[in-house]
Structure 1
Amino acid sequence: MIRAVHRWPGIAAALLLVVLALSGAALSLYPAAERLSAPQAEAGLSVADLAARIAASHPGLEQVRRAPSGQVTAYWFDGGTPRAAVIDPATGQDAGSADPDPLRRWLTNLHRSLFLGDAGRIAAALGAGAMLVLALSGAALVARRTGGWRRWFARLRGPLAGRLHVEIARVAVAGLMLSSATALWMTASTFDLLPDGARTPAFPAETSGRTGADLAGASALRMPVAAFRSLSLADPNDPADVHTLKTAQGTGYLDQGSGELLDWADLSAWQQVSETVFMLHTGQGAAVLGLVLGLMALGVPAMAGTGVVLWLSARRARPRIRGNVPPGRAETVLLVGSEGGSTWGFAATLHAALTDAGQRVHAAPMAGFDPARYPEAARFIILAATYGEGCAPASAKGFLDRLSRLERAPKAPLAVLGFGDRSFPAFCAYAEEVAAAAGDKGWPQFLDFATIDRQSPQEFARWGRALGAALGTELELIHQPVVPASEALTLFSRRDYGAEVQAPTVILRLAAPRVPAWQRLTGRGFARWQAGDLLGVLPEGSPVPRFYSLASGSRDGFVEIVVRKQPGGLCSGQLAELQPGGTVQAFLRRNPGFRPGRGRAPLILVGAGTGIGPLAGFIRANARRRPVHLFFGMRHADSDFLYREELAAWQGAGRLSHLVTANSRGEHPHHVQDALRREAAEVARLIRAGARVMVCGGRGMAAGVRAALDEILAPAGLTPALLKAEGRYVEDVY
């Protein structure tokens, strides 16, 4: 709900908000510029002396005004012609023209009314209201993303556009709230929607009857210039007329013959609030604050741009489904948890089959789950992929939290279908967690939990027949996997290892493709990537990609992966035979959960076989010489010591602090977990010092590493599970 409240006002009012923000930022410069350029009154100068100096050099003086910036302006008649000038308080002489700056006047009219009069003022107020809604909802979303208000400035992960959007928002949101709220107040005041609350003194019934008293001798004007706002002089030809004095405290009338104060009225509390609101919005009287607010306003165009990028990305990630009935009319609700978009393709196939069977079907992301939206739902079907090590995919973020907050589970029964890859240890782990949480909540399930391996159309069709039987209808799910958008990458070098130990392995270095300007701007495609991200390779004859961890980042200028040829492996076999000049179809998938993070805390990298790939990429990128300790397992150093030369060079350059290898074949065979045990004291010391542990390789190796660390850390009361909860233990296991 909060996300929708944030999204739609932003999309609807984006252009208006950008215009208001840019014009407001430009106007914020004027109070500071005026403060710096305006002649200032010397310390101790009184309003009486200032007025007397100006009156002496300006016969026919009618009014003197002092702006919050300190600029003094005089208004007088010269032979019946009105004149105005900026005054030097030290001399009372003209110091510059008082004619308004045309550009400032143009910007002011644009900002206040869009050159449309009252209609424009209303439009600007609607824009301010939209900005206030965006700021409040955005603050709530930032707090949700960072884990609470106390973690407001916690480090962010994810795509660049999303990080920029939040980074700018959490710096600028307070200023945008203030600017939009004060704008709404000023608009309401302009249209007399707020109580007036003004206090003015009663016009004097009696005066001294004299005129022409010297202003320098007026006792009521013996006040500092800093408190003064304006002095309007009486008509010298009318003894009943009086001078009008306005200050920061109130308004008073002075006798023009004696200079005495005749009556006075303090500003009301309401007037003081209104003047404070004016100061906060315009920066007049608070030039530094105005500059800060203007700088924050510049974040609006940036957030509008990144917000549009995020919205378009979300639309692309969620394909349009034909005949998607409104949620309030749906009898079958499909809730989809997808990371890369493939699960949405299965949802579209299921949606079409159920619709053809005569059902009213609505498909939506799991992240927006709210049973109240589906009053006519007869059943729910969840299609959930698993991201990383059993985590929620992008479109399912927050589903389990929403489910746990429900007072009771929906009455309409549920079926859960998981999507994953059995070669990964966390196969369908998130979908299993969803099914278990639903059962714990008492949500009835009309079909047993099931899984689909590697996007198998055959397994999906079998599940569809079971679903049809449960629904009492024939259901044939014929799914054609959507081939991900990919680019042709050309191989320009390869290094072969492992033939002698029956583990043929190759390091493939491919040319980075040319990136269009729009991709560089949005960060899509091959614009930016890091070691540890995933390269999806589409083997010939299959629409299902295989993923390989990247051993390079975009700054390296090439795409590098490490591949071991698997017996009967379609993709690994094709890659193992690829020669320089050959091409593969591939795409990028971010893997933000497997990153070394920033800072100077030590890194303990543990890998075996092809698991060295991303770890080598981390070391290659370690230009700041962060302490890195690598534990690398291989079969035999003479056959499959991957990156041997590079590791030696990186160690000499200070990018790798310590290298420990383990050979599973040879005179003294041992594995990488045994190497950890041999270095137990140093490993424990590093972890106590805040080290982050990163493990990459096969699931058997990863299990052995966890067991070894359990033993090493037991005396310190630590475990890999505790480190994982702290974000200090991560795995990329296959």
Structure 2
Amino acid sequence: MLRSLHKIPGLVAAALILLLATTGVVLSVLPALETAQAPAVTTPAPNTAELAARVAAAYPGVEQIRRAPSGLITAFYFENDRPGRVVIDPVTGEGVRDYTPSAFSRWMTNLHRSLFLDDGGRLTAAAGALAMLVLCVSGCLLTVRRVGGWRRLFSRLRGPLAGRLHVEIARIALPGLLLSSLTALVMTAGTFGVLPSDRAAPLFPTEVSETMGAAPGEIAALAAVPLEDLRELTFPYPGDATDVFTLKTVSGTGYLDQGTGAMLVWADHGPWQQLSATVKMLHTGRGAWVLGLVLGLTTLGAPVLAVTGIIVWLSGRRARPRLPAGARADRADTIVLVGSEGGSTWGFAATLHKGLMAAGHTVHTAALSRFAPERYTNARQVIILASTYGDGAAPSSAQGFADRLAALPAAPAMPLAVLGFGDRQFPDFCGYACEIARLAEEKGWPQLLPLDRVDRQSPQDFARWGRALGQALGHPLELAHQPALAPTHPLTLISRRDYGAEMQAPTSILRFALPSIGLWQRITGRGFPSFAAGDLLGILPEGSAVPRFYSLASASRDGFVEICVKKHTGGLCSGQLIGLRPGGTVRGFIRRNPDFRPVGNRKPVILIGAGTGIGPLAGFARANRKGRDMHLYFGARHPKSDLLYDEELRQWQANGRLTSVNTAFSRTADRSYVQDILRKDAARITDLIEGGAQVLVCGGREMASGVTAAMADILQPKGLTPATLKAEGRYVEDVY
């Protein structure tokens, strides 16, 4: 419900919101320009009486003096029966230039307020403001749910760039967009009389002295009004003894006798008038030009939010299979919850959803982050399908689940089945699913089935688990899942550099040409996407529907796609890649890996890797064009056969992209590993980390464990640990 409340207004009102945001940004600059155009007051500002006297002396036929919230003072007068209007210097009371209202400002204001459609346009603009308000509130609640609570509202995000950019900009723009939409709605309500109103002005006095000639500079009531409080002073009509001075200030309106200068009637602004003035100031920035500019800057986020929001919506539609119409959460007898990072687990969920419905169940399938047991009033079982992000972490669609489960006073009554998805070659196989099972057991949640796992998206593993689930439910259940192939692009090999033959460990640096894509593919996002070093290249080997992933050693702006590959015994994909020759092609796709890259600051970076793990580290060095302090610690077998990027490492060190290069070789007389050279350089590493350095580790899991142990020993005297650095985002691993 909350996601629909955020999505539907955004899609429906996107064009209107973009128009209102764009015009609002333009209008936000006008108060600052008006303030800049007002004559500077270098001496103490006169009061209203002094200003009126000076203007009357300069322009005997003055009819009215106005002071805008920006401080710009204008006078309207007649001279020889011809009207005039000038910008006034308050110090002299004389005009500095003719005053000509901006036609552009008036045109832009009318477009912003009413779309040139009068009352209908005002209501349409109000609908846009309401849509923005709904988007702000629902988006904030969605973010809170995604990150796992209000305390984590500003925590670091994971996932595709468009989604992260959408949330990051929203965090900055949210206060301004909320203020703009709320004040717009209040102003519209006031325009159409929905809100209560105070009497606009006091009644015109019925008794006056019918004398004339009071000098404005000698009227005490005017002298009591500071210039900054003045809004408008209207002079009596010449020759009419029954007319009066009309004074409007920030606090009220009054009438003064033109003969005696006495205040005849005065009325303070009521609370609704004061509210209206405050709301107008907050919305337009008039009288607070700095606020206007701030609101304008935050409103600039609206177009970006619209574009990224549409991209996220389209990506979500493409990534998730279309589920059959399911039951509401409070009516379903089976709840299926999905924790997925890349979207493949949703495909298995769709197969399970269809199979359970065919067996006569009412099924509700949702993201694991939407776990809400209080709504499962008719459920007889809960089934969780969970992949693992990185080294045992929760995937993006499962954020906050563990906290919600821990916060429950008691475990749900309906039994639970947990199925994990992962890769058995990793020691922490299906780590997040194991964590869910552990938490459920500690909470006392009854089991429908013991924890089970699916290795590398195996349809056979899934079908076996389905049969076990059917037995637990009391009926046959056959789950024939056909994994959806990722959309791939042909990659043509343009060059290769081979290493490791002497060590019986064939390894190659493979460089592919960037796939050419058309304009329409770029617009629709179906072309080969942009990427950065550290992202992953998924390769679909022939004869398999399961991709293998390789860390990228290049970025889009390098103009090529580069990976490092080592041939593994029996490895289907690595064997095909090592056997590829220039001109040959494979099919691949990009998967974002935004957590594994140097953070955007000037602090030092420590790169640690071994073997093909140097791939993304080389990409980081290649991209270090500004000479950021970057130190590489690299382990290989032998310097003559396994020193990947040997030529580039020397060049990058010479041109400052690498500050230092430290190598360890395990098949030489002085056998050493990367963790050994770390310990030898402990003093410098400690100084770097105390200076805010980030550590990036890439390579095999065994190597990473040794590096973690070495870093723990190095940091221990300073009271630091790799775990504390990980929590700060300063120790990041990409291990395999």
Q: Which moved more, 1:696-705 or 1:202-211?
A: 202-211
CA positional deviation for 1:558: 1.3
CA positional deviation for 1:329: 2.8
Q: Separation in 2 of the partners of 1:135 and 1:323? A: 29
CA positional deviation for 1:529: 1.6
Q: Separation in 1 of the partners of 2:93 and 2:681? A: 83
Q: Separation in 2 of the partners of 1:710 and 1:24? A: 53
- Which residue, 695, 698, 713 being the options, matches 1:696? 698
After superposition, the C-alpha distances for 1:587-610 in whole angstroms (9 at most, x for unaligned) are 011112322323344433332222
Q: Which moved more, 1:473-482 or 1:175-184?
A: 175-184
Aligned to 1:30: 30
**2:365 alignment partner, SS class:** strand
CA positional deviation for 1:506: 1.3
Change (3 A) 1:709 1:522: farther
Change (3 A) 1:230 1:649: closer
Q: Separation in 1 of the partners of 2:340 and 2:400? A: 13
Q: Give 1:66-465 correspondences, 5 Å limit.
A: 66-69=67-70, 70-74=72-76, 83=83, 85-86=85-86, 88=88, 90=92, 95-96=97-98, 101-139=102-140, 158-198=159-199, 201=202, 203-211=204-212, 213=214, 215=216, 218-222=219-223, 225-235=227-237, 239-465=241-467
Unmatched tracts of structure 2, length 5 or more: none
CA positional deviation for 1:258: 2.8
Q: Separation in 2 of the partners of 1:651 and 1:88? A: 65
Q: Separation in 2 of the partners of 1:732 and 1:356? A: 41
CA positional deviation for 1:140: 5.7
Q: Which moved more, 1:34-43 or 1:390-399?
A: 34-43
TM-score w.r.t. structure 2 length?
0.90
Q: Give 1:50-65 correspondences, 5 Å limit.
A: 51=52, 63-65=64-66
**2:364 alignment partner, SS class:** strand
After superposition, the C-alpha distances for 1:183-225 in whole angstroms (9 at most, x for unaligned) are 2222232233333345855654533232455555545444555
- Which residue, 550, 553, 560 being the options, matches 2:552? 550
Aligned to 2:503: 501
Change (3 A) 1:147 1:686: farther
In the alignment, is the contact (CA less than 8 A) between 1:611 and 1:698 conserved in 2? yes
Q: Give 1:459-474 correspondences, 5 Å limit.
A: 459-474=461-476
Q: Which moved more, 1:327-336 or 1:661-670?
A: 661-670
Q: Separation in 2 of the partners of 1:93 and 1:648? A: 71
Q: Which moved more, 1:467-476 or 1:36-45?
A: 36-45
Q: Separation in 1 of the partners of 2:706 and 2:217? A: 93
After superposition, the C-alpha distances for 1:225-249 in whole angstroms (9 at most, x for unaligned) are 5443223344556544433222234
Q: Give 1:549-588 correspondences, 5 Å limit.
A: 549-588=551-590
Q: Separation in 1 of the partners of 2:173 and 2:77? A: 40
In the alignment, is the contact (CA less than 8 A) between 2:58 and 2:93 conserved in 1? no
Aligned to 2:631: 629
Change (3 A) 1:732 1:290: closer
Q: Which moved more, 1:405-414 or 1:626-635?
A: 626-635
In the alignment, is the contact (CA less than 8 A) between 2:531 and 2:555 conserved in 1? yes
Letter of the 1:159 counterpart = P
Change (3 A) 1:643 1:291: closer
Unmatched tracts of structure 1, length 5 or more: none
Change (3 A) 1:172 1:686: closer
In the alignment, is the contact (CA less than 8 A) between 1:519 and 1:527 conserved in 2? no
TM-score w.r.t. structure 1 length?
0.90
CA positional deviation for 1:667: 2.7
Q: Separation in 2 of the partners of 1:75 and 1:5? A: 55
Q: Separation in 2 of the partners of 1:397 and 1:102? A: 52
Change (3 A) 1:690 1:265: closer
Aligned to 1:17: 17
In the alignment, is the contact (CA less than 8 A) between 1:159 and 1:523 conserved in 2? no
Q: Which moved more, 1:475-484 or 1:393-402?
A: 393-402
Q: Separation in 2 of the partners of 1:358 and 1:538? A: 37
Q: Separation in 2 of the partners of 1:523 and 1:264? A: 65
Aligned to 1:536: 538
Change (3 A) 1:649 1:440: same
Change (3 A) 1:404 1:151: closer
Change (3 A) 1:576 1:190: same
In the alignment, is the contact (CA less than 8 A) between 1:2 and 1:141 conserved in 2? yes
Q: Which moved more, 1:605-614 or 1:689-698?
A: 689-698
Q: Which moved more, 1:634-643 or 1:446-455?
A: 634-643
CA positional deviation for 1:143: 7.0
In the alignment, is the contact (CA less than 8 A) between 1:129 and 1:184 conserved in 2? yes
**1:667 alignment partner, SS class:** coil
CA positional deviation for 1:141: 5.8
Change (3 A) 1:207 1:407: same
Compute the RMSD of aligned alpha carbons.
3.3
After superposition, the C-alpha distances for 1:406-445 in whole angstroms (9 at most, x for unaligned) are 2322222111111111122331001111111122222211
Letter of the 2:383 counterpart = I
Q: Separation in 1 of the partners of 2:602 and 2:706? A: 28
In the alignment, is the contact (CA less than 8 A) between 1:254 and 1:261 conserved in 2? yes
In the alignment, is the contact (CA less than 8 A) between 2:336 and 2:383 conserved in 1? yes
Change (3 A) 1:281 1:384: same
CA positional deviation for 1:146: 8.1
Letter of the 1:176 counterpart = L
Letter of the 2:176 counterpart = G
Q: Separation in 2 of the partners of 1:719 and 1:355? A: 50
Q: Separation in 2 of the partners of 1:56 and 1:132? A: 51
CA positional deviation for 1:484: 0.5
After superposition, the C-alpha distances for 1:100-145 in whole angstroms (9 at most, x for unaligned) are 5444333333322333433433333333233334334545666777
In the alignment, is the contact (CA less than 8 A) between 1:694 and 1:729 conserved in 2? yes
Q: Separation in 2 of the partners of 1:439 and 1:553? A: 44
Change (3 A) 1:641 1:51: closer
After superposition, the C-alpha distances for 1:289-334 in whole angstroms (9 at most, x for unaligned) are 3233233323222221122212222222222112333333322221
Q: Separation in 1 of the partners of 2:136 and 2:142? A: 10
In the alignment, is the contact (CA less than 8 A) between 1:41 and 1:225 conserved in 2? no
Q: Which moved more, 1:503-512 or 1:549-558?
A: 549-558
Change (3 A) 1:32 1:728: closer
Change (3 A) 1:465 1:597: same
Q: Separation in 1 of the partners of 2:388 and 2:660? A: 35
Q: Which moved more, 1:596-605 or 1:639-648?
A: 596-605
**2:356 alignment partner, SS class:** helix
In the alignment, is the contact (CA less than 8 A) between 1:525 and 1:587 conserved in 2? no
**2:232 alignment partner, SS class:** strand
In the alignment, is the contact (CA less than 8 A) between 1:24 and 1:294 conserved in 2? yes
CA positional deviation for 1:663: 2.6
In the alignment, is the contact (CA less than 8 A) between 1:35 and 1:71 conserved in 2? no
In the alignment, is the contact (CA less than 8 A) between 1:198 and 1:270 conserved in 2? no
Letter of the 1:662 counterpart = A
In the alignment, is the contact (CA less than 8 A) between 1:608 and 1:697 conserved in 2? yes
Change (3 A) 1:441 1:96: same
CA positional deviation for 1:486: 0.5
Q: Separation in 2 of the partners of 1:688 and 1:60? A: 74
